[in-house]
Amino acid sequence: MNLFLLRHGESVWNKEQRVQGRRDPGLSENGKRQAKAAASLLKKEGIEVIYSSGLKRCAQTARMIALRTGAKIKFRPGIEEIILGVWQGKTIDEVKRLYPKSYAAWLKVPSKAGIPGWEGVPKFTKRVSRAFESILRENSATDICVVTHWGVIAAYLSKTLDADFDHIFQGVRVDNCGISKISYENGKVIIQCVNDTHHLS
């Protein structure tokens, strides 16, 4: 089976460079265009099921893909973005000014950022791992798409690669509507591509 990991389209807050976390802004007009482009590519791949975070930016993206592909949507708890506490709703410039220590730590070692009120990386990655284990159990022979968030994709890639979350989060780009493809064949895990964005050009 093939798993397609898709980050949601550009949100209004992505455009404003505003921290989202669990806040719930919708897609920008550009984000809607990105979602339609991703949908056209995924139609060719023949996906049958879409799992989506329930947050609006993912739900809107997933619905556009479902409309184009005919795939069924399942909203799945556990694949929502990491909770980023007091940063949520603030612009990056505001975060730099109001929380310089945690922001500096975030840039160096995200898992040690210590953001007031956040979920924390160990709890977050455990949540994501459990959610994906459940999804994969349900779809051992079905090609699926998971519409989710930057942090969630980084967390799952770090688990799949047996790599440190901080290294993946900092070292791997996850663009809006970028697609990563992972194949599961005869007990083997094969990463076919990471953050493919050619459909957006």
Query: What tens digit of pLDDT does each residue of 77-136 get?
Result: 999 999 999 999 999 999 999 999 999 999 999 999 999 999 999 999 999 999 999 999
What was the pLDDT predicted at 168? Answer: 97
User: Is 133 inside a domain boundary?
Assistant: yes
> Closest Cα to residue 60, out of 12, 21, 20?
12
What was the pLDDT predicted at 24? Answer: 98
User: Is 201 inside a domain boundary?
Assistant: no
CATH of the domain at 141: 3.40.50.1240
What was the pLDDT predicted at 146? Answer: 99
Strands 49-52 and 179-185 come out as unpaired
Residue 24 backbone dihedrals phi, psi, to 5 degrees = -130, 55
Q: Which residue among the candidates 149, 167, 198, 199 is catalytic per the annotation?
A: 149
Tokens of 191: 């990463």
Structural domains of the chain, count? 1
What was the pLDDT predicted at 140? Answer: 83
What was the pLDDT predicted at 65? Answer: 99
Task: Calculate the average pLDDT of the chain.
Answer: 97
DSSP string covering 99-125, please? -HHHHHHHHH-GGG---TTB--HHHHH
User: Is 182 inside a domain boundary?
Assistant: yes
The mean pLDDT value for 66-78 works out to 98
User: Is 148 inside a domain boundary?
Assistant: yes
Structural domain boundaries, residue 157: 1-194
What are the pLDDT digits (tens) for 130-177?
A: 999 999 999 988 999 999 999 999 999 999 999 999 999 999 999 999
Cβ distance 39 to 48 under 8 Å? no
Catalytic (active site) residue 167 = no
What are the pLDDT digits (tens) for 10-43?
A: 999 999 999 999 999 999 999 999 999 999 999 9
Q: Which residue among the candidates 8, 167, 198, 199 is catalytic per the annotation?
A: 8
User: Is 199 inside a domain boundary?
Assistant: no
User: Is 89 inside a domain boundary?
Assistant: yes
User: Is 14 inside a domain boundary?
Assistant: yes
What was the pLDDT predicted at 67? Answer: 98
What's this model's pTM, rounded to 2 decimal places? 0.97
What was the pLDDT predicted at 93? Answer: 98
Contact partners, residue 137, CB within 8 Å, separation at least 6: none
User: Is 200 inside a domain boundary?
Assistant: no
Res. 198 pLDDT band, cuts 50 70 90 = very high
